[in-house]
Structure 1
Amino acid sequence: MNKDSENRFTSMIEKDSALKDLIGYLDKSFKVGDEIPSERDLEIDIGYSPAKLREALIRLECFGYIDIHHGKPNKLLKPFEIKKE
Structure 2
Amino acid sequence: MKAQLELLSKYSGTAIEEIEVLFKDNPRLQSASVLGVNIFEELKTQINKSQVLKELIVYINDNYSVGDKLAPEREVAEILGYERSTIREYYPNLKLFGYLDIQHGKSTLFKRSFEHQIIELVKL
Same fold, TM exceeding 0.5?
yes
Question: Equivalent residue of 2:75, what SS?
Answer: helix
| Higher-strand-fraction structure | 1
The aligned residue for residue 25 of structure 2 is: none
TM-score, normalised relative to structure 2: 0.64
Task: Decide which structure has the larger Cα Rg and report it.
Answer: 2
The aligned residue for residue 49 of structure 2 is: 15
Greater relative contact order, per chain length (Cα 8 Å cut-off, separation 6+) = 1
Cα displacement (A) at 1:82: 4.7
Q: Which runs of 5+ in 1 are unaligned?
A: none
Give 4+ residue runs of structure 1 displaced > 3 Å after superposition.
none
TM-score, normalised relative to structure 1: 0.91
CA distance, structure 1, for counterparts of residue 62 and residue 42 of structure 2: 23
The aligned residue for residue 39 of structure 2 is: 5
Percentage identity across paired residues of the two chains: 32
The aligned residue for residue 81 of structure 2 is: 47
| Higher-helix-fraction structure | 2
**RMSD, aligned α-carbons:** 1.4
